[in-house]
Amino acid sequence: MPQPESPATPVTFPPAFLWGAATSAYQIEGAVREDGRTPSIWDTFSHTPGKTAGGDHGDIAVDHYHRYRDDVALMADLGLTAYRFSVSWSRVQPTGRGPAVQRGLDFYRRLVDELLAHGIKPAVTLYHWDLPQELEDAGGWPERDTAYRFAEYAQIVGEALGDRVEQWITLNEPWCAAFLGYASGVHAPGRTDPAASLKAAHTLNLAHGLGTSALRASMPARNSVALSLNSSVVRPFSQDAADLAAAQKIDDLANGVFHGPILHGAYPQTLFTATELITDWSFVEDGDLALINQPLDALGLNYYTPALVSAADADTGGPRADGHGSSAHSPWPGADDVTFHQTPGERTEMGWTIDPTGLHDLIMRYTREAPGLPLYITENGAAYDDKPDPDGRVHDPERIAYLQGHLAAVRRAIADGADVRGYYLWSLLDNFEWAYGYEKRFGAVYVDYATLERTPKSSALWYGRAARTGTLPEVQSIQ
Mean local confidence (pLDDT), 3-29: 86
Confidence of residue 477 (pLDDT cuts 50, 70, 90): low
Distance between CA atoms of residues 203 and 243, nearest Å? 31
Distance between CA atoms of residues 329 and 56, nearest Å? 22
Confidence of residue 214 (pLDDT cuts 50, 70, 90): very high
Confidence of residue 4 (pLDDT cuts 50, 70, 90): very low
Mean local confidence (pLDDT), 104-132: 98
User: Annotated active-site positions, please?
Assistant: 173, 379
User: How many other CB atoms are there within 10 angstroms of residue 323's CB atom?
Assistant: 15
7 pLDDT higher than 50 = no
Burial of 277 (0-12, 13-18, 19+ CB in 10 A): exposed
pLDDT for the residue numbered 313: 80
Mean local confidence (pLDDT), 388-401: 98
Distance between CA atoms of residues 7 and 34, nearest Å? 49
Distance between CA atoms of residues 160 and 122, nearest Å? 14
Positive or negative CA dihedral for 393, 398, 404, 409? Answer: negative
Secondary structure percentages of the chain, helix, strand, coil, to 5: 40, 15, 45
Distances from the Cα of 265 to the Cαs of 89, 146, 158, 205, 459, in angstroms?
A: 28, 21, 25, 11, 41
Within 8 A by CB and 6+ apart from 239, the residues are: none
**CA end-to-end span of the chain:** 28
Confidence of residue 343 (pLDDT cuts 50, 70, 90): confident
187 pLDDT higher than 80 = yes
User: How many other CB atoms are there within 10 angstroms of residue 417's CB atom?
Assistant: 10
pLDDT for the residue numbered 417: 98
pLDDT for the residue numbered 243: 98
Distance between CA atoms of residues 79 and 325, nearest Å? 35
DSSP string, 215-240: HHHHS-TT-EEEEEE----EEESSSS
Q: Residue 152: which H helix or E strand, with range?
A: helix 145-161
pLDDT for the residue numbered 326: 87
439 pLDDT higher than 60 = yes
Distance between CA atoms of residues 196 and 200, nearest Å? 6
Distance between CA atoms of residues 291 and 148, nearest Å? 12
250-297: pLDDT as tens digits: 999 999 999 999 999 999 999 999 999 999 999 999 999 999 999 999
Distance between CA atoms of residues 250 and 434, nearest Å? 24
pLDDT for the residue numbered 321: 67
331 pLDDT higher than 60 = yes
> What pTM was computed for the model?
0.97
Q: If we measure between CA atoms, which residue out of 363, 110, 379 comes closest to residue 228?
A: 379
